[in-house]
Structure 1
Amino acid sequence: MRGYVYLSISILSEIVGTFSLKFSEGFTVFAPSIIVVLGYGLAFYMLGKSLAYLPLSLAYAIWSGIGTALTAVLGIVFLDDPLSIGGVLGVIFIIGGVVLMNSSSSDTDSGSLEQEA
């Protein structure tokens, strides 16, 4: 459970950092630029902490998938980013892939590749 808490903090801070990129205007606006650096710093630190409890493939899939999906949704809602059927399908596939990886990792033990080799 602790790994998922670290991972959740990592995802949220990555989203804050990514969202702040828009407002940093190429790192020319000071406050959003600092938020980007702090957000990504905390994101990678917490992602690293989560790896003490979760397999790398699962943690990274969840981190990148949920981070991408939520950032896309926030961009559409708050920044008037364009919404297309392809974008909607892409987000659905990302979330589906994360769910599939998460469910398949609970079916097998994390060392299953080593056992097959």
Structure 2
Amino acid sequence: MPIPKPHYSVSWIYLMLAVILEAAGTIYMKFSEGFTKVVPSILMLIFYGISFVFLNLAIKKLDVGVAYSIFSGLGIALVTIGGIFFFKDPITIFRVTAISLIMIGVIILNFTDLSH
């Protein structure tokens, strides 16, 4: 039986999974303390690897520029939020503004992609 091709909306799910896993990989990069801690280092590599598998699946149906922009933008926002929660990075007006601008950009890209 042939493997069914992913539906367009499934590609968005793949993209969101890729973003979440990439952000988790980056957070575990910090936990690995320069690859000196084995378990966080291994988890980082696993999360990054699976993230790129899902990104690859997502760009089968989505425009690569839109998908990668969303992947990068949301990844930056999630890692910044993760840094605040896990590593006590300071919350500043500049960070809040930057994350807000990223989110606005992602929303605009989504509307642009839906208009096709």
Shorter-chain TM-score: what band? Answer: 0.7 to 0.9
Q: Give the number of equivalent residue pairs.
A: 108
- Which deviates more, 26-35 or 77-86? 77-86
In 1: Cα distance, 2:30 partner to 2:56 partner = 26
Deviation at 1:9?
1.4
The runs of at least 4 consecutive aligned structure 1 residues that moved more than 6 Å come to none
Unaligned runs of 5+ in 2: 1-8
Alignment of 1:1-12 (within 5 A): 1-12=9-20
Deviation at 1:78?
2.3
Percent identity reads: 36
Normalised TM-score (structure 2): 0.88
Deviation at 1:20?
0.3
Aligned counterpart for 2:84 among listed residues 63, 76, 92: 76
Q: What's the C-alpha RMSD, in Å, of the aligned pairs?
A: 1.0
Deviation at 1:70?
1.3
Asked if 2 retains the 8 angstrom alpha-carbon contact of 1:6 and 1:46, the reply is yes
Partner of 2:31 in structure 1? 23
Partner of 1:60 in structure 2? 68
Q: Which amino acid aligns with 1:6?
A: Y
Partner of 2:59 in structure 1? 51
In 2: Cα distance, 1:102 partner to 1:5 partner = 13
Larger fraction in helix? 1
Normalised TM-score (structure 1): 0.87
SS of 1:101 mapped into structure 2 = helix
Unaligned runs of 5+ in 1: 110-117
